[in-house]
Chains A and B, each alone.
Chain A
Amino acid sequence: MRVGLVIVSHSAALAAGVTELAAQMAPDVRIMPAGGTEDGGLGTDFDCVSAALERADSGAGVVLLYDLGSAQMTAELAVESLTTPIRAIVADAPLVEGAVAAAVCAQGGADLDAVGSAAAMAHAFVQGEAFDEMDLDRHVYGGGDGLLERTFVLRNELGMHARPAALTARAVAELDVEVSIRHGDQEVDARSVLALMGLGARGGDELLVRAVGRDAQKAVDALAELLESGFGEEERPGAGPRRLT
């Protein structure tokens, strides 16, 4: 049971496109597009949004994202007019980034408020502000007990773009661990897809994975599998032989 999403847009094509993008990163999340008017024109359709809201819910609640002005009002009205007891929130977030962040967060099994916050935090990402800065050094005491660290080189040509970032965040989402990824002097939460993308790490760059907690080893292993396979993507020339794990 995961939090669902509704993508409210003036355009059916835009809603479908954002849904497609987010769904690629979160295959088990119910993401419902609600775009355009009934007659195929541009606008928002209250009945369409309400129906999508019902379909997106699997019991864990629904986060609605919207594109412009009246889409927000239609989304809010749909939530207020619910006749069934669905928990739903309208997220004030940039549509594409918010949908991706919320979808990956929902895929990891987060609750409604956390998914809503993940969407809302996308604002900071879009504005290039510092976000999700993480520093696991506070866990390092008595010789760094319990802190696992491992360095990887990004093997795939494109580096930490959207898809690998989503795979990374999902790989650790359900583990009992605090895990960060450091690139240069930036260290971010490995659970935050937008923060990972914000690292701007390219193929050939070095990443330091750091993990603390009961599942620290599992987290490092899971990330090792992904990073060493180059996320299953085309490798950059001269990436060297794959290490077999």
Chain B
Amino acid sequence: MGCSVEEVTAAVRVAAEKVIEHRDELVELDRVIGDGDHGENLHRGFTAVVAKLDGGGFDSPAAVLKVTATTLISTVGGAAGPLYGTAFLRAATALGDVSEVDGRMAATALEAALEGVVARGKAAPGDKTMVDALTPAVAAARSTVDAGIADVLMAAADAAAAGAAATVPLVARKGRASYLGERSAGHLDPGARSTAVLLRALADAASRTQRQ
């Protein structure tokens, strides 16, 4: 059993609200090794996403992801706009016109999102970016594709959290934090953190709907 368009809308909405709630934490993380705008930019972007989703009228899960993408691209302002925008856009394209998203499709969409982020930002694993959260998430999702979507997303969220935590000792090689060189080590990457927050919220939402 997969997630319907209504359930996908609700899940993305919850994920957006989670990111909005984490504004201060993301601001603080980015203030230390970046320019402090990550929390603010995502707060603005996902607030706009919530407003768009509340407008409703989506005929497929892909349409939900696509409007999320275009809204983020248009409103975020910093690097996270094109990066998350590309991620949601590629995920939408990967879903095509299916009316329900199952575990296998969720894994495929996540993989497409990762490929998009890598193509856009040209970061590799270990560069201390959101790729460090998304890469293990995709691997975990892929290894659980035969389970339901809730289990796939839960595995992805767990792996993303671990991947984000593992960015702490890394020296940044991409983005604003790379200007700090060695001094970026010892801090959690804000982009990896926001990715982990998003995936955790999506997984929690999927578990709730799938248990009903």
Q: Are A and B a genuine interacting pair, yes or no?
A: yes
Write the B99-139 contact mask toward A (1 if CB under 8 angstroms, else 0).
00000000000000000000011000000000000000000
Contact B37 A76 (CB under 8 A): no
Q: Which residues of A contact B82 (CB under 8 A)?
A: 46, 70, 73-74, 76-77
Q: Which residues of B contact A46 (CB under 8 A)?
A: 73-74, 81-82, 85
Q: Which residues of A contact B121 (CB under 8 A)?
A: 73
Chain B stretch 126-178: residues in CB contact (< 8 A) with chain A: 175-176
Q: Can you name the residue of chain B whose Cβ is closest to the Cβ of A47?
A: B74
Known: A41-B77, A46-B74. A69 touches B37 (CB 8 A): no
CA of A189 to CA of B180, assembled, Å: 40
CB of A195 to closest CB in B, whole Å: 31
Q: Answer whether residue A45 sits at the interface, using C-beta atoms and an 8 A cutoff.
A: yes
Q: Which residues of B contact A37 (CB under 8 A)?
A: 77
Q: Answer whether residue B186 sits at the interface, using C-beta atoms and an 8 A cutoff.
A: no
Contact A73 B74 (CB under 8 A): no
Write the A69-104 contact mask toward B (1 if CB under 8 angstroms, else 0).
110011011000000000000000000000000000
CB of A147 to closest CB in B, whole Å: 47
Known: A43-B37, A43-B41. A73 touches B79 (CB 8 A): yes
Q: Which residues of B contact A74 (CB under 8 A)?
A: 73, 81-82
Q: Can you name the residue of chain B whose Cβ is closest to the Cβ of A73?
A: B82
Q: Answer whether residue A19 sits at the interface, using C-beta atoms and an 8 A cutoff.
A: no
CB of A209 to closest CB in B, whole Å: 44
Give how many A residues have a beta carbon under 8 Å from the other chain's beta carbons.
Answer: 15
Q: Answer whether residue A180 sits at the interface, using C-beta atoms and an 8 A cutoff.
A: no
Q: Which residues of B contact A42 (CB under 8 A)?
A: 77
Contact A77 B78 (CB under 8 A): no
Q: Answer whether residue B194 sits at the interface, using C-beta atoms and an 8 A cutoff.
A: no
Contact B77 A77 (CB under 8 A): no
Contact of B120 among A41, A44, A45, A76 (CB under 8 A): A76
Contact A69 B79 (CB under 8 A): yes
Using A46-B85, A69-B175 as known contacts, list a sample of 11 further A-B pairs with CB atoms less than 8 Å apart, ordered by residue number in A: A37-B77, A38-B75, A43-B77, A43-B78, A46-B73, A46-B81, A47-B74, A69-B79, A70-B77, A70-B79, A77-B82
**Residues in B lying within 8 Å of A, measured CB to CB:** 37, 41, 73-83, 85-86, 120-121, 175-176
**Residues in A lying within 8 Å of B, measured CB to CB:** 37-38, 41-47, 69-70, 73-74, 76-77
Q: List 26 A-B contacts (CB under 8 A).
A: A37-B77, A42-B77, A43-B41, A43-B76, A43-B77, A44-B78, A45-B74, A45-B77, A46-B81, A46-B82, A69-B175, A70-B77, A70-B78, A70-B79, A70-B80, A70-B81, A70-B82, A73-B79, A73-B81, A73-B82, A73-B83, A73-B120, A74-B81, A74-B82, A76-B120, A77-B86
